[in-house]
Amino acid sequence: MYDYEKFHAENATNVHDDPLRHSRVAELCKGRVVDIGCGTGSLADYYTGPYLGIDIAQNAIDKAREARRQSAEFEKFDTKDIAKFDFAGFDTIVMCEFLEHINDDEQIFAEIVKIASADVRIIITVPNGPRVQCDEHVREFTIPELRKKLSKYGKVRFYNWQGEEKRILCTVDFGEVETNDLSLVIIAKNEEQGIETCILSAIELCDQIIVAVDNSTTDKTAEIAKLYADEIIRFDWQDDFSAARNLAHKNAKCKYILSLDAHEYVKSSQGLALKLKAFADGFLCSIEEETGAVHSYPKIYKNGLQFVGAVHNKIQCKNVMAYQNFVIVHDVKNLQSKATKEARAKQRNDMVPRIMKARYKLNKKDVRASFHLGMFYTGNQKHREGMRWFKRYLKYSKNPDERWFAYFSMSLSCLVKQKLWRALYYADCAEIEKPNRWETRKLQGIILFTKGKYMGALDYLLSSFEENKVMHLYRPWKREDDLTWNMSGECYFRTGQYADASMCFDRASKLSTNENSKNIFAQRAELMKSLTKNSN
């Protein structure tokens, strides 16, 4: 057995002090706390409520009594005699960095179940798999092992905290039953760079984690997934994203499924519990692209629904509900390796035109095929080809959100090609499809500015500061009001209205988050002030 007395005799009192871990654990504590395996009692410096620390080493207890607050209590106790310990009256039982030091914990949990109050909370931290190497440790844990082990006692929650990659933090609340509201489902191939960030972003939200790993994966995706996933599914790629996603979620046990790609992460989930009580097949979440564009898609959907479509697959939801506060970030830049990005781009550049053109050939009215071909070609700067497919799409489509996006994209393509009257025409068509969108007004302003129609441009640019009143499926631009104020200032400057130009540049400077741009805009504002004085 490891000599803990010797260890604490030879090491400083705060040898195991971890401000990140202890402060997070303290936030989760409630009422009267017993800290099993407390060591030198560092937690007592972070949790200020009633506290009892117990440890096998007398040297640790002596140091704790000397160093910690006077109101904290400490006792020497060997957990081999756990049947003699009275858990009654404690609201929180802490086992931080403890379970990995003992071979068996069944008796400890059995005694807690027998004596502890019905609403007791257990807080556990253990090393995340093999990531914390130590001679004292006699076993390792993963999240799926802990979930299986602990769920029989109550509601198990895992937490996304700053130290999660090295240490698992979870709670078990006795008296609360597992609700099985949400399963996280991921399909992955060579995603070792991002999959952990993806899982951790949703770990507090889900009751089950499923990761389907392509058998052709050559990196550590599966090894990382094993630390977190309740189920690992291996599959052979069949040139069909729907087939892969349907396979991945076939064993989901929860009412709803959250489907994420391994290079995505959850940024915001405000109001999730309430939403999952609503009667909807799916929830339109906001997905932020690297470009700043945002689109809405039912990334949360009812268990049992199926995907269709080999590429740009679609979940078959009959009724969907807007959920703008659930925000997912699509972060290929940071969460995919260079090799994976290149492989995915090659796959996309093959699958989209090949599969969608085959669909279109079978049915000229297949608006899904023509729409995504329009998106594909304009996204690859092949504007002429993209416009050709969007025109085919518009011939048959009745979806106002998609029609708006098609016209908006065609307008941008014409703007790039300096076909300005045609660009303005398509922007006006977009306005007809979905009136009063700020993106359309800003685009119209940019086109007129490029044509040198500065007063006309101002009307559109200044009206574009009004926010959209409803959520739209496609939001191709992020708001950059500093740049809009700057262009408005340019319009005023070029028409000799220097005082108004100065006001616009000043607003641009105050709104800018880029220090270089902020300074440039401020200099322009000062220049306009001087021109105003000279003109008077």
Residue 97 belongs to domain with CATH number: 3.40.50.150
Q: Same domain for 207 and 107?
A: no
Residue 203 lies in a domain: yes
Question: Rounded CA gap, 243 and 241, in Å?
Answer: 5
Residue 36 lies in a domain: yes
pLDDT at 489: 97
Q: Same domain for 156 and 213?
A: no
Residue 65 lies in a domain: yes
pLDDT at 177: 86
Q: Same domain for 314 and 261?
A: yes
| 433-489 pLDDT tens trace | 999 999 999 999 999 999 999 999 999 999 999 999 888 999 999 999 999 999 999
Lowest mean pLDDT among 133-147, 206-220, 435-449: 133-147
Q: Which residues are CB-contacts of 508 (< 8 A; sequence separation ≥ 6)?
A: 482, 483, 485, 486, 489, 517, 521, 524
Q: Same domain for 100 and 232?
A: no
Residue 408 lies in a domain: no
Going from the C-alpha of 388 to that of each of 209, 227, 398, 433, 476, the distances in angstroms are 43, 48, 18, 19, 20
Q: Same domain for 27 and 164?
A: yes
Q: Same domain for 93 and 158?
A: yes
Lowest mean pLDDT among 118-122, 202-206, 386-390, 520-524: 118-122
Residue recorded with tokens 């999952």: 276
| 224-234 pLDDT tens trace | 999 999 999 99
Q: Same domain for 152 and 213?
A: no
Q: Same domain for 97 and 239?
A: no
Q: Same domain for 318 and 200?
A: yes
Q: Would you say residue 36 has pLDDT above 70? A: yes
Q: Would you say residue 419 has pLDDT above 80? A: yes
Mean of pLDDT values over 257-283: 96
Out of 282, 311, 330, a domain closes at: 330
Map residue 411 onto helix, strand or coil.
helix
Radius of gyration of the chain (CA): 30
Q: How many domains does the chain have?
A: 2
| 305-338 pLDDT tens trace | 999 999 999 999 999 999 999 999 999 999 999 9
pLDDT confidence bin for 1, thresholds 50/70/90: low
Q: Same domain for 27 and 170?
A: yes
Q: Report which secondary-structure segment, H or E, holds 283.
A: strand 282-288
Residue 520 lies in a domain: no
Q: Same domain for 59 and 164?
A: yes
Q: Same domain for 246 and 213?
A: yes
Q: Give the chain's count of helices (H) and strands (E).
A: 20, 18
Question: Do residues 249 and 259 touch, judged by C-beta distance below 8 A?
Answer: yes
Percent of the chain past pLDDT 70, that is, above it, reads: 100
DSSP3 helix / strand / coil % (the chain, rounded to 5): 45, 20, 35
Residue 131 lies in a domain: yes
Residue 403 lies in a domain: no
Owning domain of residue 311? 182-330
Q: What is the pTM of this model?
A: 0.92
| 234-245 pLDDT tens trace | 999 999 999 999
| 81-133 pLDDT tens trace | 998 998 988 999 999 999 999 999 999 999 888 887 788 999 999 999 998 98
Q: Would you say residue 535 has pLDDT above 80? A: no
E strands along 90-166, which residues? 92-96, 121-127, 154-158
CATH number at residue 293: 3.90.550.10
Q: Would you say residue 302 has pLDDT above 70? A: yes
E strands along 303-411, which residues? 307-308, 314-315, 320-330
Out of 330, 363, 382, a domain closes at: 330
| 354-409 pLDDT tens trace | 999 999 999 999 999 999 999 999 999 999 999 999 999 999 999 999 999 999 99
pLDDT confidence bin for 536, thresholds 50/70/90: low
pLDDT at 134: 85
Question: Do residues 120 and 93 touch, judged by C-beta distance below 8 A?
Answer: yes
Question: Do residues 485 and 505 touch, judged by C-beta distance below 8 A?
Answer: yes
Tokens of 66: 């000397």
Tokens of 116: 């502890």
Residue 371 lies in a domain: no
Out of 117, 151, 174, a domain closes at: 174
Question: Do residues 416 and 378 touch, judged by C-beta distance below 8 A?
Answer: no
Question: Do residues 190 and 343 touch, judged by C-beta distance below 8 A?
Answer: yes
pLDDT at 501: 97
